[in-house]
Amino acid sequence: MPEISHRELKNHLEGLRKGNQAGPFEPVYLIHGEEFLCKAALDELLNAILTDSSRDLNFEPVDGIDMNIHEVIERINTYSLLQKRKVVAVLGSRIFDSQKSADTLVEKMKEASGCNDIQTAAKCLVSLLGLMDLTYDDIGEAEGKKKLKLDSDASGERNWIDSVMVYCMENNLSIPAGGDDAGILNEAIKKGFPTGNHLIITAEDVDKRRSLFQTIAKNGMIVDCTVPKGDRHADRIAQEAVLGEKMKTILKKSKKVMERSAFQALCEMTGFDLRTFCNNLEKLAIYVGDRKKITTDDVESALKRTKKDPVYELTNAISSRDAESALFFLNSLVSAGLHPLQILAAITNQIRKLLLIKDFTESPHGSVWRPDIPYGHFKSRILPAIQSYDRILLDQMDDWESMLSEKMDAEEKKLKKRETGKTQTATDLLIAKNPRNLYPIYQMLLKSEMFTKDDLCTAMEYLSRADMQLKSTGQNPKLVLEAAIFSICREKRHPRKGENK
């Protein structure tokens, strides 16, 4: 059975009920993607396979974090005593995880910890430990945290990771055993299950190249609930389409309609958070009472902004010297629990990029740049000059590295290679690190016109001072960051290249 999207699932199940499609329910289903959509698809599937009266006896949910694959296979191969159909569901499965999934688990753990969601953070930690074949003792020291890619240096991560680990141990959360669970399940699916028994797996991330995925696609059905998470125009359109579908479904039940501007205001308040979006829509339907139309005023009056702004919104505002927007996004990030030193590091990295670009525009290579150059011209004329500049910079780095290496003994060179890594350092200094994604470079060139090189050097001094204050004083971190942002964004317009001074 081919893979279908979550939008097609309802029609597919209706076809089965009416007998328009050949074949019974599939023995195995994989539902993957956005958690809220996966849950909705699971409910639809369960409603189709089992009646309400039989669900309590014939539906066996299994936590994907704590599951024992042999127990799952035993359950799915056991006949139901009272009904013809039985469903075993592995919820939130990590069976498709690979080493590449470790970074995702770390980020989810940080986010959950920042939101004081200790249960979710704990589940991510035990899953991560199982994936990397580690124990609680292994991560008790700094070296163990490095294995998990958790640098407990200055970012305050030691405290939160320790608190999550203590929670796991106090609640006796077991670490999933290592082993080829995917391979074991793969073979079980190939052998088949008793007639009337169905296995449903829900997962957020899957690797379509793995043999388990291919086996499920061949022997069952895959329901794709993925939604792009990025901020590109195409991603936003896809996210808005999903939110629009949910809006129509919810408002249809209450016989309400919503103004386009009100819908956009709601999206801005929640971001792409389906659960919060749907809950807020239901609140609005109650809030307007007998009125049929929900307006922008209703959204602004009845709801609070819960959207989690990405860090780049703050750095973009600072690059544009827009102090008002920068302070708004700073407040949003601090409220969301992002560590002040992480925020400072993001701002510092942005100013450093602008300083590098300013050096390019003031070099002979940058003489071809003008802020009124269109994007198409930038790709054909300016990009080659940037790449030439990058090559020269890398050559200089090689020369400096050679000079330094002559003064270092063999042990020091070995230590430096292990700890710093020349390739990473050099890559960080490139303007065009990713030639396939050029538009952000073009935008950074435009924003660099808002600053002189002296402005940017002074900004680095402000940030260095803020770094010292955050690490060595008891000052309010938010006030320290606000002061740095005010200083950097202070209104000071400079003539652009080609303008009269």
Residue 1 above 80 pLDDT? no
Distance between CA atoms of 30 and 3, rounded to whole angstroms? 9
C-alpha dist (Å) from residue 342 to 118, 126, 155, 312, 465? 21, 25, 7, 12, 15
Residue 215 above 90 pLDDT? yes
pTM of the predicted model, to two decimals?
0.61
Domains (ranges, CATH) in the chain? Answer: 4-94+179-225 (3.40.50.300), 101-170 (no CATH), 233-302 (1.10.8.60), 311-409+426-489 (1.20.272.10)
Q: What is the per-residue pLDDT for 106?
A: 77
131 forms beta bridges with none
Q: What is the per-residue pLDDT for 415?
A: 54
CA 472 from centroid of its chain's CA atoms: 32
Q: Measured at the alpha carbon of residue 460, what is the angle toward residues 458 and 465, in degrees to the nearest 5?
A: 100
Q: Is the dihedral of CA 471, 477, 483, 486 positive or negative?
A: positive
Residue 6 above 60 pLDDT? yes
Q: Which ranges of 362-450 would DSSP assign to H, the alpha helix? A: 375-377, 383-406, 410-419, 422-428, 439-448
Residue with tokens 């580690």: 134
198 forms beta bridges with 87
C-alpha dist (Å) from residue 160 to 29, 114, 122, 133, 145? 37, 9, 11, 21, 12
What are the tens digits of pLDDT across the range 251-266?
Answer: 998 899 999 999 999 9
Burial of 102 (0-12, 13-18, 19+ CB in 10 A): middle
Q: Between these two residues, 229 and 265, which has the higher pLDDT value? A: 265
Mean pLDDT for 200-228 is 90
CA 155 from centroid of its chain's CA atoms: 19
Residue with tokens 């995880």: 97
Contact residues for 238 (Cβ-Cβ < 8 A; gap 6+)? 227, 228
**How many CB atoms are located within 10 Å of the residue 458 CB?**
16
Q: What is the per-residue pLDDT for 101?
A: 64
Q: What is the per-residue pLDDT for 22?
A: 45
DSSP for 277-290 reads: HHHHHHHHHHHTTT
Contact residues for 160 (Cβ-Cβ < 8 A; gap 6+)? 110, 113, 114, 121
What are the tens digits of pLDDT across the range 424-466?
Answer: 445 566 888 776 778 888 889 999 999 999 999 999 999 999 9
Mean pLDDT for 55-60 is 84
Mean pLDDT for 157-163 is 65
Distance between CA atoms of 486 and 489, rounded to whole angstroms? 5
Mean pLDDT for 318-327 is 92
The three-class DSSP label of residue 235 is: helix
Q: Which ranges of 77-117 would DSSP assign to H, the alpha helix? A: 101-114
What are the tens digits of pLDDT across the range 264-313?
Answer: 999 888 888 888 899 999 999 999 999 999 999 999 999 888 777 778 88
What are the tens digits of pLDDT across the range 79-115?
Answer: 877 767 899 999 988 788 765 567 677 777 877 776 6
Phi–psi pair at 473, nearest 5 degrees: -125, 170
What are the tens digits of pLDDT across the range 386-417?
Answer: 888 888 888 877 777 777 666 665 555 555 54
The three-class DSSP label of residue 133 is: coil
Q: Between these two residues, 28 and 113, which has the higher pLDDT value? A: 28
Q: Work out the angle between the directed axes of helices 311-319 and 477-489 (0-180°, nearest 10).
A: 30
Phi–psi pair at 182, nearest 5 degrees: -60, -40
